[in-house]
Amino acid sequence: MSILEGSIGVMPRRMMVHNEDYFMAYTILKDNDFDLPDYT
């Protein structure tokens, strides 16, 4: 996948969302097997 993205995975990826959309974004990423810390 890194070839398609143009990176070798050295730097972590970041994504910004509005506070009001955080829970939905977190749920979508978790449902798609992203490794995230537990939601608190």
**Residue 26 covered by a domain:** yes
Range of the domain at 38: 12-40
Q: Provide the number of structural domains found in the chain.
A: 1
**Residue 32 covered by a domain:** yes
**Residue 40 covered by a domain:** yes
**Residue 7 covered by a domain:** no
C-alpha distances (whole Å) from 25 to each of 2, 14, 19, 40 are: 22, 12, 10, 14
Pick from 15, 21, 18, 19: nearest CA to 36? 15
pLDDT tens digit sequence for 1-40: 555 666 666 666 788 999 999 999 999 999 998 888 886 5
pLDDT of residue 23: 93
**Residue 29 covered by a domain:** yes
| DSSP code string of 1-40 | -HHHHT--S-SPP-----GGGHHHHHHHHHHTT---PPP-
**Residue 36 covered by a domain:** yes
Q: What is the pTM (predicted TM-score) of this model?
A: 0.60
